[in-house]
């Protein structure tokens, strides 16, 4: 498995043994709501970083709704088309659709209809992702962050319904821990459907190794399905440059000993 870390586009990233890639955010790095001149600045910054940026998360800002009565399909599609086009220029291979505020189902809106909206979106966006040579992964989030798609199994069910080669899912050990979710969703999804991983300790969302969590059962399950792709540390840091080497080493120990 390849280890990465979620960073700001302007964050100083020290050279750390065992760190393979970086993961930014869509609004900051790809800035789909901003003009090309703004992206040119981000592109130059990313290209100057010490490791390749291979993934981007936080797909939508809160105000750009993907469920409910106020969805603007044309605006969403313009946003995704721009994000995919710019991601291809950077070399990003995975875009993470978490965006809990964007997809949160408004009170009184039918949950099944909201799931249908998400399936419809992903069906359109999978074709855009394919043209850009990347994958959009649906991220389950715990219930305090969103009220729809809270488990790996739910994400897998929706992705199978969409049935697009460039729509896949993510497993996040932080959210899984918050939901007390076991490894069954990982096993049932398989490496063909699950193609990105985030991790952090559920206690304070600190990096693994800085809290009590033992996530080796999750990594054992990933090994059981022959998952050998990216694992990103998505955590809250007290001192990013100082903590990063120990965090990468702790994550590698949990993976290797799983």
pTM passes above 0.85: yes
Q: What is the pLDDT of residue 62?
A: 93
Is 91 within 8 Å of 54 (Cβ atoms)?
Answer: yes
H or E element, residue 121? helix 111-132
Domains and CATH numbers, the chain: 2-257 (3.20.20.150)
Q: What is the pLDDT of residue 10?
A: 82
Segment-wise mean pLDDT, segments of 10 residues, the chain, 258 residues: 94 93 97 96 94 97 96 98 98 97 97 98 97 98 97 98 97 97 97 97 97 97 98 97 97 98
Count CA atoms closer than 13 A to 175's CA, side-chain side. 24
Q: What is the pLDDT of residue 9?
A: 84
């Amino acid at each position: 498995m390849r280890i990465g870390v979620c960073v700001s586009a302007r964050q100083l990233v020290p050279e750390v043994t065992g760190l393979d890639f970086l993961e930014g955010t869509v609004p900051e790095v790809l800035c789909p709501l901003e003009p090309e001149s703004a992206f040119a600045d981000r592109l130059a910054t990313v290209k100057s970083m010490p490791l390749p940026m291979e993934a981007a998360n936080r797909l939508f800002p809160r105000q750009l709704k993907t469920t409910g009565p106020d969805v603007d399909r044309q605006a969403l599609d313009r946003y995704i088309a721009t994000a995919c086009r710019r991601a291809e220029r950077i070399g990003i291979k995975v875009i993470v659709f978490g965006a809990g505020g964007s997809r949160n189902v408004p009170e009184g809106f039918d949950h099944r209809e909201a799931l249908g909206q998400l399936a419809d979106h992903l069906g359109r966006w999978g074709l855009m992702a394919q043209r850009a040579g990347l994958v959009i992964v649906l991220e389950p989030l715990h219930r305090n962050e969103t009220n729809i798609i809270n488990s790996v199994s739910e994400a897998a069910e929706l992705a199978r319904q969409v049935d697009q080669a460039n729509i896949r899912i993510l497993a996040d050990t932080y959210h899984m821990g918050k939901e007390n979710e076991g490894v069954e969703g990982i096993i049932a999804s398989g490496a063909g459907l699950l193609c990105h991983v985030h991790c952090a300790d559920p206690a304070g969302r600190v990096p693994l190794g800085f809290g009590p969590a033992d996530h080796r059962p999750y990594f054992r399950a990933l090994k059981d399905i022959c998952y050998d792709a990216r694992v990103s540390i998505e955590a809250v840091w007290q001192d990013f440059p100082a903590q990063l080497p120990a965090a990468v080493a702790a994550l590698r120990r949990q993976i290797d000993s799983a």
